[in-house]
Amino acid sequence: MSAGYLDAPWGQVHYHHAPGAPVTEQLRDGRPLLVLLHQSPLSGRRYRRALAGLAGFCVPVAVDTPGYGNSGPPGGQWSAADYGAVAWLVADAFGAERPWLFGRATGAVFALAAAAGQPGRAAGVVLHGLPVYTEAEKADRLAGFAPPYAPDDDGAHLAWIWARVRGEYPWADPALSTDLVADYLAAGPDFAASYRAVWRHDLAAAAERAGPVDLLLAGAADRIGHMHARAVAAVAHTRAAVLAGATDFVAEQDPAAFCGALADTIDRTGETA
């Protein structure tokens, strides 16, 4: 895996790409750019084991959402549209007029917001584990679902983060849990800034502006897999699929299955950047 930075008005955007030539050189062979947006409060590292496989049929760029991973934080409270616009900043930086957009969970909301912000520009859109909240659920979460933590002299906040990760993913082994904790720490005490953008977002309006997405993807063992039926009902789409046994982290736990699902979708359209 290779990485780089792009300049942005608020700072720098960090991204990961497949090993080899720089992204602009990889795009010269006609493969489409695929902008990958991750779930919060994690980072683009969650795609690192899939990048080489994805590079067989596209030019993948896994972006660290501003304020997460190694990307600089945005100034103030951003909306979902603001986060989504980062996908176009990345595409423009690499000269890709018609990129594919992919998002996982929080990132799926932002990918859809990007498509809504520039309707018809994306060559295609794939949403993995799109969270669809009721108005009551949004209000409940905004009321205090993920408050900032305060660093403690004795490091108690580290135990709190560990407990949160283990509570969300009790099946995760210590190595994966530690890796997720590292992403939490990189996000800082207010790790839920992008969550609030999702809970304030009008997903239905964005879906209407964006038009049909190419694939609604879910995992049978996904923590938010129960929302897949809501997504299928709420978002116009060409195809929906559930990956057997897949968790939130299928891209790193079963990269072959993940890449296969995307290859099937991207190859069937024949679109290029």
Domains of the chain: 2-136+196-269 (3.40.50.1820), 148-191 (no CATH)
Cα–Cα distance list, 273 to 80, 91, 247 (Å):
24, 9, 30
Question: How far is it, in rounded angstroms, from Cα 179 to Cα 16?
Answer: 16
Please report, rounded to a whole number, the percentage of residues in the chain having pLDDT higher than 90.
Answer: 94
The angle, 0 to 180 degrees and rounded to 10, between the axes of the packed helices 106-117 and 80-93 is 70
For helices 106-117 and 203-210, what crossing angle results, to 10°? 50
pLDDT above 70: percentage of residues in the chain: 97
The backbone region for 67, taken as left when phi is positive above 0, alpha when psi lies in -120 to 50, beta otherwise, is left
- For the cut 90, the answer to whether the pLDDT of residue 240 exceeds it is yes
Q: Which two tokens stand for residue 218?
A: 């879910």
What pLDDT was estimated at residue 268? 63
Mean pLDDT (whole number) for 209-238: 97
Range of lowest pLDDT (55-69, 116-130, 141-155, 197-211): 141-155
Q: Taking 60 as the threshold, does the pLDDT of residue 63 lie above it?
A: yes
146 confidence band (pLDDT: 50, 70, 90): confident
Position 34, amino acid: L
CB 99 within 8 A of CB 59: no
Cα–chain center distance at 155: 30
Average pLDDT over residues 35-59: 97
Handedness of CA 28, 11, 129, 237 (dihedral sign): negative
pTM: 0.96
Give the pLDDT score at 75.
84
Radius of gyration of the chain (CA): 17
What is the predicted pLDDT for the residue at 272?
A: 41
Instruction: Pick the closest to residue 36 from 65, 56, 8, 9 (CA basis).
Output: 65
- Whole-number pLDDT of residue 235: 98
Phi, psi for residue 254 in degrees, rounded to 5: -140, 70
CB of 79 closer than 8 Å to CB of 201 = yes
Both tokens assigned to 10: 């608020």
